[in-house]
Amino acid sequence: MSIRYGLLSLLERRPMYGYQLRQEFEASTGATWPLNVGQVYSTLARLERDGLVAVSDDETADADRESQRVYAITDNGRAEVRTWFATPVRNTSPPRDELAIKLALAVHTPGVDVHAVIQAQRTATVRALQEYTRAREAAADDLSWLLVADSLIFAAEAEVRWLDHCETRLARAARTRTDAASAKPAGSVRREDARS
Amino acid sequence: MSSPVLELRDVGREHGRGEATVHALDGVSLSVGPGEFVAIMGPSGSGKSTLLNLAGGLDSPTHGDVIVEGKRLGGLTRSSLAQLRRRAVGYVFQSLNLIPSLTAVENVMLPRELDGIASRRARSEALDALREVAMDELAERFPDDMSGGQQQRVAIARAVVGDRRLILADEPTGALDSQTGEDVLRMLRARCDAGAAAVLVTHDARHAGWADRVVFLRDGVLVDETAPLAGPESLLSTSPIE
């Protein structure tokens, strides 16, 4: 996730202090992705270096002190924000998904009950869904936060559906093995074994 | 803690006998208190609907006890069971089961009138229930003149009319679009926040997300349940992003 574009698009609203940017970022995203103030200032320093923001001229206070500086977006910064909004987020290489990797390994690891792995994950994910649903209802008029909460909820729902699907697939694979085993005489190579 | 509205004690339901016995439900214990919203998830055939039918007295367990509002259903006569079903339990099903020749308010009044409540009072209670689901302005409409979402709201009003304390819902959002489905769940949630107990059977995790507790059924057995919720903040204040 790019803090850089987050801060730049907030500065499109009006010039702000670093701590204001942090507050507004968290308010927009329901504190789902908290920022620490150090990240905000280091990002602002890079944005200033790249000419995308400038310390506001009307700032009379001690401009050397980070907390006293008001940042404003430049024309180049505006162009950068436009480009960001106009460009789809790329998902070219799938992110490393620990759960998918875990299940992929679980099916061939001796002594691991894959169904138990799936159920433990399902319980945890549904519980997360309960929390997201509550949090969303608690902040029902904040459109930005509603969108973020919906995103979390739909992602969790998708994970549960995928877990359900995994179980169906496991059951089918187990049936195929049983059928193959009972259909062939002892000693023949089973299809599942031959493939693995 | 106040006494549960619904309690299942080691409940089992078998079909058939001998080698052909199918355990639709096996040794299930579950307690739902006032104000509590419990969702039951599980694959088809896991026993979800059986559990709901037993909880509502529409079916009887082959062993164990079902207790509603402190009354053991197995110990009731047929007529007191019917009365308890009408007075204490409200049902919301996927199919709406509204009577097409009755208006919205008449549909909602019906269970109260069957219960011997005077028509005027039944009507006033029905209007209260319709108001709760924002359908009071359409009280005189017939089901055919309402959208699916509106009909489902009326079905919910009918399930809660007369302050029934236990609401049993089986995939109540089945035919509805996602926004309308969400409204239905929000109403169930509100009803629980006002003190009722609800059991929702669903295969949809997003719907289960509305519950206080989610239990998981598999092959007729309760295999797991979610831990109690701490509060809205607990998952949403993680470490700063990189």
pLDDT at A190: 45
| 169-198 of B, contacting A, C-beta below 8 A | 186, 189
pLDDT digits (tens, 9 = 90+) for B189-218: 988 998 999 999 998 999 999 999 999 999
Q: Are strands B37-41 and B63-68 parallel, antiparallel or unpaired?
A: unpaired
Residue B11 to residue B42: CA distance in whole angstroms: 17
| 26-65 of B, contacting A, C-beta below 8 A | 41, 43
Cβ neighbours for B238, distance < 8 A, ≥ 6 positions apart: A33, A34
pLDDT at B92: 85
Cβ neighbours for B92, distance < 8 A, ≥ 6 positions apart: B152, B155, B156, B159, B167, B168, B169, B170, B172, B184, B188
DSSP secondary structure letter of residue A66: G
Tokens of A88: 């789809």
pLDDT at B31: 96
Inter-chain CB proximity B224 and A133 less than 8 Å: no
Supply the mean pLDDT for chain A.
Answer: 84
Inter-chain CB proximity A35 and B206 less than 8 Å: no
The model's pTM is 0.81
pLDDT digits (tens, 9 = 90+) for A165-188: 999 999 898 888 888 877 765 544
- Interchain CB contact of B232 with A (< 8 Å): yes
User: Has residue A189 got a pLDDT over 90?
Assistant: no
SS3 A39: helix
Residue with tokens 């699907």: A165
- Compute the nearest-CA separation of A99 from chain B (Å): 18
Cβ neighbours for A98, distance < 8 A, ≥ 6 positions apart: none
Q: List Cα–Cα distances, B59 to A178, B11, B15, B66, B67, in angstroms.
A: 36, 12, 12, 10, 13
CB neighbours of residue B203 within 10 Å: 17
Tokens of B160: 């809660």
Residue A6 to residue B235: CA distance in whole angstroms: 22
Residue B116 to residue A93: CA distance in whole angstroms: 67
Pick from B227, B204, B46: which is nearest to A160 by CA?
A: B204
Between B86 and B230, the more confident residue is: B86
Q: List Cα–Cα distances, B80 to A71, A129, B108, B202, in angstroms.
A: 74, 40, 22, 30
Residue B121 to residue B124: CA distance in whole angstroms: 5
pLDDT at B229: 79
Give ipTM to 2 decimals. Answer: 0.82
Q: Are strands B221-225 and A70-73 parallel, antiparallel or unpaired?
A: unpaired
Q: Where does chain A show beta strands of DSSP type E?
A: 16-17, 53-55, 70-73
Q: Which of B41, B189, B229 sits opposite A131 (nearest CB)?
A: B229
pLDDT digits (tens, 9 = 90+) for A54-86: 997 655 555 556 667 899 999 999 999 999 998
Q: Are B157 and B136 in contact (CB under 8 A)?
A: no
Residue with tokens 């602002």: A44
Tokens of B81: 């069971």
Phi-psi region of B130 (alpha: psi -120 to 50; beta: other; left: phi over 0): alpha
Q: Best of A4, A32, A115, A123 to disrupt the B interface by mutation (most B CBs within 10 Å)?
A: A123
Phi-psi region of B219 (alpha: psi -120 to 50; beta: other; left: phi over 0): left
Q: List Cα–Cα distances, B218 to B24, B26, B222, in angstroms.
A: 10, 10, 6
